[in-house]
Amino acid sequence: MYDTQNGKIVTKGGVVVELDGFGNIFGVIRKNPRVIFPALIGVAVALLLNIISFEYSRMLKTMNFGWIPFSFEIFKWGVAFTLSGLTTLLMKKNAKESHELFSKIFLDVFIFSTFMAFFVVTGFGLYVVPGLLILFFMIYIPIEMVLEQNTSSLERFKGNLNFILEDAHVIHTFIALLLIIVFTLIPYIGEYIAMFFYILWIPNIYISGKKENDEEVEW
């Protein structure tokens, strides 16, 4: 059980868990409003695909079945995972440099993100838990891909796991996933809120966590 205090989580044992990756996003947006654009694009793509999927399902009278709605679900989350990488670059670099770097690795990130989305969407279809576990252990890989472009796939996966399992990042990640699930339960607009949160907050949690680690090393 936790008590909140000044933007932190303080356990009964006195352990303090920083939550800067959640609350400081508003300051990041004020300094650099461009970081919000990938999240808006992701929501727009999801809305468009949902409209098309709804019309397709209504036409065939198969709202919950069919490979086209399933494919759209994979595609829109693949786009969301990909755009989290662009958000990361916009938070770390200027707009021109971000777009140049992202254009070089876009195809690799998108292909990986689509595979990642396939396993996550399929896992959530299998009683939620498998999808939750897959997303938990892969959540920062698209971000690692854009920041560590000269490393191998295995090193990126290790970097993702190392970040999750060190210090309080496992708690940050768990809270973020819990919020995403809660958002998706909101009727009609929940999926869009969850996608907006993922594209904008997950990169910020990663960057804030890395910054804290670097400051600790310097100290």
Query: What's the domain range around 118?
Result: 32-208
Number of domains, the chain? 1
The secondary element (H helix, E strand) that includes residue 5 is: strand 2-5
Q: Does 21 fall in a domain?
A: no
pTM reported for the whole predicted model: 0.82
Q: Does 214 fall in a domain?
A: no
- CB 165 within 8 Å of CB 16: no
Q: Does 46 fall in a domain?
A: yes
Half-sphere exposure of 130 (CA within 13 A, CB side): 12
- CA–CA dist 8, 202 (Å, integer): 18
Q: Does 5 fall in a domain?
A: no
Q: Does 6 fall in a domain?
A: no
3-state secondary structure of 8: strand
Q: Does 2 fall in a domain?
A: no
3-state secondary structure of 16: strand
Closest CA to 19 of 215, 199, 202, 172: 172
Q: Which residues of 28-37 are buried (b: 16+ CB within 10 A; e: fewer)?
A: beeeeeebbb
Q: Does 10 fall in a domain?
A: no
Structure tokens at 3: 């008590």
End-to-end CA distance of the chain: 31
Per-residue pLDDT of the chain (219 residues; tens, 9 = 90+): 444 444 454 444 444 445 567 778 888 899 989 999 999 999 999 999 888 877 776 666 655 556 777 888 899 999 999 999 999 998 887 777 888 888 888 899 999 999 999 999 998 888 778 888 889 889 999 998 888 877 777 888 888 888 888 766 888 888 999 999 899 889 989 999 999 999 999 999 999 887 765 544 443
Q: Does 131 fall in a domain?
A: yes
Torsion of CA 138, 86, 211, 177, to 10 degrees: -40
